[in-house]
Amino acid sequence: PTAVTYPHPTPAELPANRVDWRLDPSRAALLVHDLQHHFLRCFPPGTEPLTGLIDRTARLIEAARAAGMPVIHTAQRGGQTPAQRGLQLDFWGPGVPADPAAHGSPERVAPAGDDIRLTKWKYSAFARTDLEERLRAAGRYQLVVTGVYAHIGVLMTAADAWSRDLRAFVAADAVADFSREDHDMALRWAAGRCARVAPTADLLKEF
């Protein structure tokens, strides 16, 4: 898609959650999912949902670092071979180009300091990575998820966390998608099946 613009859902527009999990910063980590220039190019600069996505993710990163929570950034490798792409090649083509400018991140949400950088290969951040092992080794059983795209990698990662008995918290206004319809569908499915969905402001109160 190109030139994607739409407003983030307001708190009143969010789906009802099936669970009432509360965030515990001593047992949680923050996942910044695929915020690479390659994936953000469909959003015109200075418009929603991009501006809110970057602003609220930056606030979550700052709060997580201050609370001593691990901050984990996923990024797909540029210039993948067909073997590395696998079935993603059939659906999405060659993916992120080898150009460093494409696989970098906006400065406000880029990895820094002790942040963890994780190379991601499939929709779920758990697929073919050691994310689960890192979380358990650090005593982290909750995962706050931000990034793109809500109905693809964000949703698949939240569902995969559920499959591993890890509690996912999706920041409803710190994710973005191809359309508001896709965004809403992802939040609705997550809230009813695998995660707690909440506005960034509500999650920040629990840090």
Angle of the 155-163 helix axis to the 180-193 helix axis, nearest 10: 10
Residue holding tokens 């809230």? 191
**DSSP sequence for 98-164:** S-HHHH---GGGS--TT-EEEEE-SSSTTTTS-HHHHHHHTT--EEEEEEE-IIIIIHHHHHHHHHT
Check the CA dihedral 7-160-110-140 and report its sign.
Answer: positive
Q: Which of 20, 24, 34, 173 is the catalytic position?
A: 34
The gap between the terminal CA atoms of the chain, to the nearest Å, is 35
Strand order in the sheet with 167-176: 116-120, 71-76, 28-33, 142-148, 167-176, 195-198
Distance CA 97, CA 20 (A): 41
Q: Is 34 a catalytic residue?
A: yes
Active site residues: 34
